[in-house]
Amino acid sequence: PGGFLTIRCRVSMPPGSKISVAPGGRLLLDNCRIHQACGKTWRGIEIQKNGKKTGQVLTLGNPILDDREKSIRP
């Protein structure tokens, strides 16, 4: 809770990995590209929830999420 991560660049995720946003945490995707560079897939972004508290994903510009198995879901 209270954690904040900004991604502003190209990031290649390991196959089968995911980004988890814990309840009370925030992830800012700022004109970035997140993908899997080896032709496989990654598991996407998991927004965790605990009671009424959830993680948040914020966007600026046009972030690109390629090669993922899941969409962003609360």
Alpha-carbon distance values, 2 to 17, 54, 67 (Å): 23, 11, 29
- pTM attached to this predicted model: 0.87
Tell me the average pLDDT of the chain.
92
Alpha-carbon distance values, 51 to 2, 48, 55 (Å): 16, 10, 11
pLDDT classification of 1: cutoffs 50, 70, 90: confident
